Structure 1
Amino acid sequence: MEMRASAPVVSEYLDHHEGWFRRCAAPMTVEPLGKRGYALTLGTFGNFGFEVEPTIGLELLPQDQGLYRILTVPHPGGDPNLEGLYDVEFNASLQLDQANEDTVASDDPRPQTLVRWQLDLSVWIRLPGVITLLPDGLVQSSGDHLLRQIVRQISRRLTWKVQEDFHGSHDLECPPRRSAQF
């Protein structure tokens, strides 16, 4: 993700997540969990007529030398009816790198920062018994496809919204949208 400002300016923005996280996560529902945590309802997703509206607890850890981490935390207000139906382990990091002429496609002489995201995501879902009658390969490939779709949709939208929000809040021109690299 390209940000058209220096790393300290981008870092200052990211450090104050209580403003941008809620704005950028919309239309997903965001509820605060303490000072650095959020309960994030991702939307309704499903396959084979089985739908779930996952809510996960996330904590945005303070940065450490330009490295930010987001981890799964327990969600104390979760729906007890959904307990045991799914589990999500979300571990993300993002690194700020000061861009140089070779890494950005811009003639803009102002400093630029690249924000590189990495996500380690594990999802466990308990499926209704009737689905177990289907071939394992079909269920696995359908689940993998659905998970890729969710990650791609949410990642692209969140990335673009963070870029727009950052540049808009700093009265900077937003870089053009780029194709996702996944």
Structure 2
Amino acid sequence: MQCQWLNNHPNKVSEGSISHLQDKQVTDPLEAKPVHFRTQFTGYMEMYSDVDTVADYLNAHQGWFCRCAAPMKTEPIGHNGYILTVGQFGSFGYEVEPKLAVVLEPSVNGVYHMHSIPIPDEPYLGYEVDYQASMTIKEIPSEIASVGLKKAFKKHNQVQLPEIITKVEWHLAMDVAVQFPKFIHKLPLSMIQKTGDRLLTQIVRQISPRLTYKVQEDFHSGHSLPIPSKTSRHLEKIEESSLEQAA
């Protein structure tokens, strides 16, 4: 998605400057270790059809992934992979336009896994993205669906409601390791860490709801079904305290 992620600083670093910094980061043995930024989310979306129809749609991701990922730039690799260019983001006057390669594995018992892989034929860019996500599809009675179900069908001039619909639930975790130039490390590490974690979280909050809506819209429009309302999709950040308690 060539999305405008977040530009937190008014002074952009030129491509030449970033390239110079990246070259220095690779060759300078005294450079500080990469700083890791992490975030985790859970979410769901409802699809107003049976689970087999939804599974057929998701399995044919070559037909919808790039379309729904727009405006991000996407490039298919292999049978199940994509290279995504996610737009510029940064802070403290340091900006990058990250890429990541992801693979969407075939479903196993209604569970899909997506994970990042090294970008083919790509040099080290000063950062590494570890993306791990799982998605589960299951049928639920329409009577426990979101409150917008009846309204959506009525607006679509379909009085008859389906007895069952499909709920797609997911969990995603991201770990982004950034090799900053030395001038960034003049700042307190706690400030860098807090700002980076917050920025990564804001990026997910910006992109995920848009992607979810576009997938819903693409599926339902293609099957002549009403577009689900906003109440049919949800995104929630998993706080560190919750993770510590679970451990």
With normalisation by structure 1, the TM-score equals 0.93
The percentage of counterpart residues that share the same residue type is 44
Distance 1:140 1:164 in 2: 36
Q: Deviations over 1:9-44 (max 9, x none)?
A: 100000000011000000101001101111111111
Match of 1:69 in 2: 113
- CA shift at 1:84, angstroms? 4.7
Deviation at 1:180, TM superposition (A): 3.2
Question: How much has 1:57 moved relative to structure 2?
Answer: 0.7
* Partner of residue 144 from structure 1, selected from 185, 194, 197: 197
The structure where helix makes up a greater share of residues is: 2
CA distance in structure 1 between the aligned counterparts of 2:66 and 2:136, rounded to whole angstroms: 21
Q: Tell me what 1:173 maps to.
A: 226
TM-score (norm 2): 0.69
Deviation per CA, 1:101-147: give whole Å up to 9, x if none: 22432336213111001102111011121111111111111001110
Q: Find the aligned partners of 1:140 and 1:74 in 2 and give their Cα distance.
A: 24
Equivalent of residue 4 in structure 1, options 48, 53, 62 = 48
Match of 1:38 in 2: 82
1:125-173 CA distance string (max 9 Å, x none): 1112111111111111100111001111111111111111111111111
- In the alignment, which residue of structure 1 is the partner of 2:11? none
- Unaligned regions of 5+ residues in structure 1, if any? none
2:61 counterpart of 1:17: yes
Map 1:48-87 onto structure 2 (within 5 A). 48-78=92-122, 80=123, 83-87=124-128
Query: RMSD in angstroms over aligned alpha carbons?
Result: 1.4
Between the aligned partners of 2:188 and 2:117, the Cα distance in structure 1 is: 34
* Aligned counterpart, 1:27: 71
Deviations 1:53-87 (A, max 9, x none): 11111111001111111111121143x3xx15100
Distance 2:208 2:56 in 1: 22
Structure number, greater radius of gyration: 2
Gaps of 5+ in 2: 1-44, 154-160, 238-247
SS in 2 for 1:99: strand
Measured in 2, the distance between the counterparts of 1:102 and 1:36 equals 34
Counterpart AA for 2:184: I
Q: Aligned AA for 1:90? A: Y
